[in-house]
Every structure is written in structure tokens, then in C-alpha cells.
Homo-oligomer: A and B are copies of this chain.
Amino acid sequence: MALIGVLGGMGPLATVDFLDQVVRLTGASCDQEHLPMVVANLPHTPDRSRAIIDGAADPLPALIDGIDLLNRNGVALIVIPCNSAHHWYAQLSERSAAPILHISEASVAALPREARRVALLATGGTLASDFYQSALGVRGMEPVLPGAAAQADVAACIAAVKAGDIDEAAAHLGAALAALAQEDVDAALMACTEIPLAARALRDAALPLVDSTRALARATVDYALARGWNRPV
């Protein structure tokens, strides 16, 4: 029986959302057709964005502990429903026996093919890390970064979700999207797994939104179903 390893807790509500999407996308008709998983929900991992931007406490040792835990449990695939953590993707992949799906590949593949200018809704750390800008560039897409005020709203949205205040998060997200809608952009990529939780509380969004949590869940389910991991051995 192949196990999917989920390195989660960054944040915890985003991990719950990711698991919910995996369960719903699996299309099972009874328990036994669902996908086996081991979830390491490790919220104590130091803040990824602050480490990238400010050189605050390094999360890499905690991330490696999580990767080691999952590998000790014999997982055959690892996914990490936290975009900022992918700043350390190379180190984590090198450490891991199990392959790790990259959330930016799944997310950029989920964008409309005709999109050219794509707004990035992400932590300051993810933006500074530049991996989304590279992934968009490879596909001939142009990243559009929020201005300072809109980025402050994005950061406040993320912090509010981590504190469980979805209404406040949605208000900040709405403000950021209204500002970005003034730019000439085709879609906004929610490149932080907290943001989709706020987006679902918005009445209507000012821009087409692509959800990195859902994109990673879809990639995970596709990978697992293609290998028959929903069939008990």
C-alpha cells in the first residue's frame, strides 16, 4: 500500500483545506477507495516568509525533520501545502527518498493557457524567493506584483486566516484584488495556501482566481490514481 506524505501545519487550516480537496477530488464511492496518507502537521515550524525576508529563525531544520518523519513512514510521494516552504525545495528534495511535487508547477499549470499577465498573491517571502516568477517566465507569462498597499493587504489576509478570522481575511483580499484589477492582468494566482480560504468568503472577486491548494491537490490525486494507490493491496 503506497502512502502519500503531507508536510503540513503551515498553516494548519490550509492543510485541512488541502486534505479536504484531496478527498473530494479522489472521487471514491466508499472509504476503501480513498487514498492513504500520512500527514505531519508541524505548525511550530518557524515562519517561512520572515526567514526569507528578514533572516529570522531558519525553518529548514524543522522542514527537514518533517521530511525525515514522512520518509521514515515509507511514503512514496511528498507534497507540501505551503508555497513559501518551497523556497527550500532543492534542499528538501535532495534530502528526501520520496519525490516531492513542486506546488508552483502544479499551480502555473492550472492557469488559463491564454493568460499573459498574472498577478501573484503570495507572502513577501515567496515573492522574494522568485520561484513563481521563474515558473511563469518558462511558460511565457509575465508576473505582476502587487503594489506596496495591496501587498500589505495580502499579508494581512494571510495572517488573519492563520488566526482563524476568515471575514477579516476576505476584506483584505478584496481590497488587494480591487487594486490589482486596475492593472492590466488576466488572472490572479493565489500562491499562498491561506488565501483560497479567504477567497471562498468573497461574494465576487475582481479577477479570475487560480487556487494553489486545489492545484496541488489535483496534482497529488492525479499522481496517486495513475499509480492505483486507491486500490488496497
Contacts and interface: CB of A to CB of B under 8 A. Distances in A.
A195 interface: no
Nearest to A18: B16
Q: Which of A13, A16, A28, A35 has the most CB of B within 10 A?
A: A16
A31 B47 contact: yes
A219 to B, nearest CB: 18
A41 B31 contact: no
Interface stretch (A90-98, A125-133, A157-165, A203-211): A157-165
Contacts of A13: 20, 23-24
B28 A36 contact: no
Contact of A31 (B24, B37, B69, B162): B162
A1 B44 contact: yes
A170 B9 CA distance: 31
A124 interface: no
A135 interface: no
Contacts of A164: 23-24, 27-28
A91 B73 CA distance: 23
Interface in A9-32: 9-13, 15-16, 19-20, 23-24, 26-32
Contacts of A232: 44
A39 interface: yes
A163 B43 contact: no
B30 A20 contact: no
A35 B12 CA distance: 9
Given A13-B23, A16-B20, A32 B39 contact: no
Interface of A: 1, 9-13, 15-16, 19-20, 23-24, 26-47, 69, 72-73, 159, 162-164, 232
25 contacts: A11-B34, A12-B19, A12-B31, A12-B35, A13-B20, A13-B23, A13-B24, A16-B16, A19-B19, A19-B41, A24-B164, A28-B163, A30-B47, A31-B43, A31-B44, A31-B47, A33-B43, A34-B43, A37-B39, A37-B41, A38-B38, A38-B40, A39-B41, A44-B232, A72-B72
The 3 closest A-B CB pairs, nearest first, are: A34-B43, A39-B39, A44-B232
